[in-house]
Amino acid sequence: MASSIVLFGPPGAGKGTQAGNIVRLTGKPQISTGDMLRAALSAGTSLGLEAKGYMESGQLVPDSIIIGLIEERLTQPDASDGVLFDGFPRTIAQAEALSEIADVSVVIAIEVPDSRIVDRICGRYTCASCDAVYHDTFNPTTTQGTCDECGHTEMKRRADDNEETVRTRLSAYHSQTAPLADWYRQRDLFVAVDGDQDINTVSASISEVL
């Protein structure tokens, strides 16, 4: 099996940006379970239809279906040299199942202190027209209230980008992924990268790992 990469980190750690850099560096396609579920639903595959029943009733899609989707995805030509798993696995059970169908060569965790995550997420806003992303402190618009990309003057913030919700999400992330990090550490696959730096420095650190 070709070697694959697992990338994880808390919400707001910059996974999306760094995943794009990893794809460019390695040529491995980025896959997320959310994307695969949507694709399977859209295509009407047997696994997609099975997942649909769980999703419509508000239940979590079972690991067996998720692993089945991943197994199907790994047979596609662009995955012949391995893939970048974005946000999966989330539990030890998922990691154990994944190890049966994929060769994970490294697990990269982007680590950022909770207080910084709160600052990052709560300060985010986007252009209501083109969805360009800005931040009150780190990346404000050049002219207050006007999008640098399209000139639109209406900005929006996500309703869940508030401190209470962010801290709840962080708590869930830590309780869920701490055991998973230890599981991968025991297998000498886990590498932590300091995500509390500028984007280029984080990218350089990840390049070094790769």
Could you tell me which residue, 161 or 126, shows the higher pLDDT?
126
Which of 1-10, 34-43, 108-117, 136-145 is most confident? Answer: 108-117
Q: Is residue 102 part of a domain?
A: yes
Question: Per the residue annotation, which of 52, 116, 124, 167 is the catalytic one?
Answer: 124
> Is 78 inside a domain boundary?
yes
Choosing from 52, 90, 116, 167, the catalytic residue is 90
- Whether residue 201 lies inside any domain: the answer is yes
Structural domain boundaries enclosing 107: 3-112+195-205
> Can you tell me the mean pLDDT for 141-163?
92
Residue 151 lies in a domain: no
Q: How high is the pLDDT of residue 61?
A: 86
Average pLDDT over residues 118-140: 91
**124 is known as an active-site residue:** yes
CATH of the domain at 34: 3.40.50.300
Q: Is 81 a domain residue? A: yes
Q: Does 167 participate in catalysis according to the annotation? A: no
Residue 157 a catalytic site member: no
Please report whether residue 20 resides in a domain.
Answer: yes
| 169 belongs to the catalytic site | yes
Domain assignment present for 136: no
Residues 138-150 have a mean pLDDT of 92
56-105 pLDDT tens trace: 887 878 999 999 999 989 999 999 999 999 989 988 999 999 999 999 99
Question: Whose structure tokens read 């590498």?
Answer: 191
Domain annotation covers residue 132: no
Confidence of residue 1 (pLDDT cuts 50, 70, 90): low
Give me the mean pLDDT over the 14-24 stretch.
Answer: 91
Q: At residue 158, does pLDDT exceed 90?
A: no
How many distinct structural domains can be found in the chain?
1
- Catalytic, out of 15, 28, 73, 120: 15
